[in-house]
Structure 1
Amino acid sequence: MVEVAVGGVLALPEAYGLGPIEVTAITGGPVEMAAPLTGPGSGVAGCSGGGGTSSDGGGGVTMKCGVGPAATINDAMSLKVAEIRKTTAVLRIEPAG
């Protein structure tokens, strides 16, 4: 698990198909994150608080995740918001499965 603040960036293994995840907002509700795509396709499933994808030029994914079940991203990565604090969030990132 890792604790991150707004503006914090987490590097990911290439196998996940995403570039570094940046935390863009923590507002007491869902944690908002964005990452560039580095592989083909993108999919976000199971993110509590909703999840979605967007294409920004070269392509990227945006997510809003609250505390709860893990999201599966690109069928390769599991991302769970374990805790939301005042100015930080605790995230668990691991291989999907």
Structure 2
Amino acid sequence: MGDVLVVPEAYGLGPIEVTAISGDEVEMVAPLTRSGFSVAGCSGGGGTSSNGGGGVTMKCGEGPAATINDAMSLKIAEIRKGAAVLRIGSAG
């Protein structure tokens, strides 16, 4: 836990920090770098919430990729023994 993933500014998020891995979900927090935030398809349950101060908390499970801000693809590829494999790329 505590791993930080720096993503391109065009995705609308600052560095994404993994804050918890529990069971079948990964929890992450990230500051927003522009106004507005959208997420579609955070599979395997989970969701997003405002983190105050211009940030967001995301919880996602394994499965198809979520689309963040219509710009970034986030896929939880695998969760095992307190570790997770995340795949991040451009959406589309």
Normalised by the size of structure 2, how large is the TM-score?
A: 0.93
Does the alignment pair 1:17 with 2:12? Answer: yes
Partner of 1:65: 60
Deviation string 1:48-87 (CA, Å, 9 cap, x unpaired) is 1122130412x11111110001111011000000000112
One-letter code aligned to 1:64:
K
C-alpha distance in 2, partners of 1:55/1:29?
22
Residues 44, 53 of structure 1: 8 Å contact kept: no
Partner of 2:47: 51
Does the alignment pair 1:77 with 2:54? Answer: no
Partner of 2:35: 40
Does the alignment pair 1:90 with 2:85? Answer: yes
Identity rate of aligned residues, in percent? Answer: 76
Q: Structure 1: which 5+ residue stretches go unaligned?
A: 1-5
Runs of 4+ in 1 over 6 A off after TM superposition: none
C-alpha distance in 2, partners of 1:66/1:55?
19
State the structure with bigger RCO (CA 8 A, min sep 6), 1 or 2: 1
RMSD of the TM alignment (CA)?
A: 1.0
